[in-house]
A and B are shown apart, each in its own frame.
Chain A
């Protein structure tokens, strides 16, 4: 299979504290890779390093054959989407404006075309009637689904999700995970940080377990959950 993302020797230090220590992994096209691990182990920092929202201290990241250090990062980001834990919708713009902002300002689509596409996408998640609402008028689950649509309209080749359900009421988790599941079925590559173990088991093709800024263990969901090898992972799963 073709590799879409390669990470080599990634190190991230804040002042002198290493948050990521020599991370190595790659993702093949179509994979749904999940990252699990205790809070503060560097999972979110890792995702932010992968699209250079945080510039890593050392290491090489290659996305679709392009070295991030030598490419226009803004172009990479249009194809390497990131959905945030806290949605990061723009409160001064309506739902529709949130979705079409990037494609129109980057001149990837004409405004009419973008609007039509956005409405189609909103229709598919049954939020078309909220197109002219402001984010603060939506529930948490609706906000996150809009944020996912906002990333989808860019037609990314890899979507990263940073704990997409952690800021949600338990009641709303399902609507977001179902949407991610539907999107996954289109064949798109995904890298997801999550604490929802049922969600991980249902969708993952591979699971990476991180602790203290290092990858401790990785494997298929079966290997990780049924047959954890390291003591760290066993302890993490028992808690």
Chain B
């Protein structure tokens, strides 16, 4: 009976392919979304820090703050639906790309705050040291502050990636075949929920636990050569 169920869920008609496809999509969305998130987050964090230091870029700073507050203050599922059903309503864009964009924009707001904390963790005398040598603010950020800040926040960025891996399951709402959706598809064929759901739960756990172990290792390793 159990073996029969297992066979029906995964082997019959190559149903395991749904799991593979879902896993691939989940990882793809999470990976590219975190990259977009880091890009957006860095730009916003630097704009906000530049504003704090010089009182310039008022409009950009305001928009950055608005973006962070709106994204962090609304559910990701709503953002996803707005982007898919409103913004991309008339285009026949690949739904995976919609997912990457939506989760990337969402992640950017959280990463912006992470990077801001990272920049704040670097003593101000580092920026002053660079400025006093004639480097402008952006060169100081690029060569002096950010390399040290990124080191400090790598673990937090790792955690953001882990969160994204789980959060992408929301993508099934707009029809993305991610890992969660894959289990749903299989179950709808077999009317057996146990194996597909438990299987993807185990896969999520393997990924997230594996990644957290990696983050922990990073923390230990960075802890050794992070300088005061």
Contact = CB atoms under 8 A, between A and B. Distances in A.
A53 interface: yes
Contacts of A136: 227-228
A52 to B, nearest CB: 9
B85 interface: no
Nearest to A137: B227
A75 B136 CA distance: 9
Interface stretch (A101-109, A189-197, A228-236): A101-109
Interface stretch (B68-76, B126-134, B202-210): B126-134
Given A91-B228, A92-B147, A151 B133 contact: yes
Given A105-B143, A135-B227, A136-B227, A89 B129 contact: yes
A32 interface: no
A53 B128 contact: yes
Contact of B227 (A77, A88, A92): A92
Interface in B95-140: 125-126, 128-136, 139
Interface in A84-121: 84, 86, 88-92, 101-102, 105-106
B144 interface: yes
Given A78-B134, A106-B134, A90 B126 contact: yes
A105 B134 CA distance: 10
Contacts of A90: 126, 129-130, 144, 148
Contacts of B227: 91-92, 134-136
A106 B125 contact: no
B51 interface: no
Contacts of B128: 48, 53, 84, 88
A133 B225 CA distance: 13
Interface residues of A, number: 27
Given A51-B132, A53-B131, A151-B133, A84 B151 contact: no
A84 B132 CA distance: 9
Contacts of A76: 134
B129 A84 contact: yes
Interface string A20-52: 000000000000000000000000000010010
Nearest to B144: A90
A86 B147 CA distance: 20
A154 B130 CA distance: 12
B134 A154 contact: yes
Contacts of B151: 92
B125 A88 contact: yes
B147 to A, nearest CB: 5
Given A91-B148, A101-B143, A135-B227, A84 B125 contact: yes
A134 B224 CA distance: 13
A221 to B, nearest CB: 27
A90 to B, nearest CB: 5
Give the most central of A75, A76, A78, A105: most B CB within 10 Å.
A105
Interface of A: 48, 51, 53, 74-78, 81-82, 84, 86, 88-92, 101-102, 105-106, 134-136, 150-151, 154
17 contacts: A48-B128, A51-B132, A53-B131, A74-B136, A81-B133, A82-B132, A84-B128, A84-B129, A88-B132, A90-B126, A91-B227, A91-B228, A92-B227, A134-B227, A150-B133, A151-B132, A154-B134
A-B interface, 5 closest residue pairs, ranked by CB to CB distance from nearest: A88-B129, A91-B227, A78-B134, A102-B133, A77-B134
